[in-house]
Amino acid sequence: MSIKKGYFGLYGGRFVPETLMPALEELDKVFNIARKDKNFINEFESLLKDYVGRPTPLYFAKRLSEHLGGAKIYLKREDLAHTGAHKINNALGQALLASKLMKKDRIIAETGAGQHGVATATGAALVGLSCDIYMGTEDIRRQSLNVFRMNLLGARVIPVDTGSRTLKDAINEALRDWTTNVRTTHYVLGTVFGPHPYPLLVRFFQSVIGKEAKKQLLNKEGRLPDVLIACVGGGSNSIGLFSAFLHDKDVKMIGVEAGGKGIETGLHAARFAGGAKGIFQGCLSYVLENEDGNILQTHSVSAGLDYASVGPEHAYLKDTGRVKYTYANDEEALEAFELLSRLEGIIPALESAHAVAEAIKIAPKMSKDSIIIVNLSGRGDKDVQEVARIKGGDGKTKI
């Protein structure tokens, strides 16, 4: 895997306006200094422990495992991290970079499900930077609770009412802002996507998930898992989990995209099932686009998976066969959302429910001494209102 020049095999790169090149070069330089700087790493790790609440637990889902009647299912509880999702790991790391080493006055971010926006606003409050968050108006409707949380934390949420009014459009506006204000502003990109060095930088800050999970399972079971499962939007929670196990050949990995209303309908965000190689928002990866190269509209019940492309490392891992990629549709995700809530008293984010849906499919086919780790990337408080709207007053799903 060639990552020296910002590529994972064929994928990645840096496809941006010339005005952003100096900022990306600066970020690359600062990131390479920071990850070897003991003082920076010590401060970051101290905050992960005392502020974020790491390590997050690896929880044996006993009732879910018994209900499915197959493999033992462990949940990596990123939903228990401060702000309620894995996003805080990366947002905090980048906020420290911006304030301590880059001396920026302001940070900006994009958000879909709102968890990255909340995490970035939290990081900005902690280090004392001003913060603007771009968010599509459709996502603002779906995630009104997180909008209030961002405002409460001192951030300004800027509505984006163009295109599909979702994450893709929010990223476009954030990139325009950064191009204009590059000297004073750092863009906290929320996933393992975009121009180099973002895929590597975000991977670095999220790798704590896999390192912890590996150590925790070895302590509990004395061995490695058989299967890892994580949802894939841009792909940071999944890369965070997978990264520690990539060289463990006997550990299978499954990334779960958003199947929406079905691949055949065109209303989905399954880039590997319905996309092709293309350049989008700063890098080369798999993209949902038409024959003319125009980006297709996407759909998912989960705002955080509702995106037209995927991180370049995922594209590499898919092509090499190291990770299997599949999808769960809206209905399967909603069923998993309800099942985990009822059996374990844990309400997952709709994004994470896609990963749970895959575990529901494969666990019964596996032996009882097999082990699955599902990355529970976030909690579902933010989604309860939207699920209630979808299901309606009669309790029947309407999607």
Residue type, 50: D
Q: Do the Cβ atoms of 199 and 15 come closer than 8 Å?
A: no
Which of 65, 76, 78, 87 is labelled catalytic?
87
| Catalytic entry in 65, 76, 78, 110 | 110
CA–CA separation, 111 and 92 (whole Å): 15
- Joined together, the tokens standing for residue 300 give 């998912």
377 is catalytic: yes
Active site residue 335: no
Q: What are phi and psi of 369, to 5 degrees?
A: -95, 5
Place of tokens 């079971």: 221
Query: Residues 72, 377, 382, 386: which is the catalytic one?
Result: 377
Spell out the SS3 assignment of the chain: CCCCCCEECCEECCCCCHHHHHHHHHHHHHHHHHCCCHHHHHHHHHHHHHHHCCCCCEEECHHHHHHHCCCEEEEEEHHHCCCCECHHHHHHHHHHHHHHHCCCCEEEEEECCCHHHHHHHHHHHHHCCEEEEEEEHHHHHHCHHHHHHHHHCCCEEEEECCCCCCHHHHHHHHHHHHHHCCCCEEECCCCCCCCCCHHHHHHHHHCHHHHHHHHHHHHHHCCCCCEEEEECCCCHHHHHHHHHHCCCCCCEEEEEEEEECCHHHCCCECHHHHCEEEEECCEEEEECECCCCCECCCCCCCHHHCCCECCHHHHHHHHHCCCEEEEEEHHHHHHHHHHHHHHHCCCECHHHHHHHHHHHHHHHHCCCCCEEEEEECEECHHHHHHHHHHHCCCCCCCC
Give catalytic status of residue 87 as yes or no: yes
CA distance 135 to 143: 10
Residues belonging to the active site: 87, 110, 377
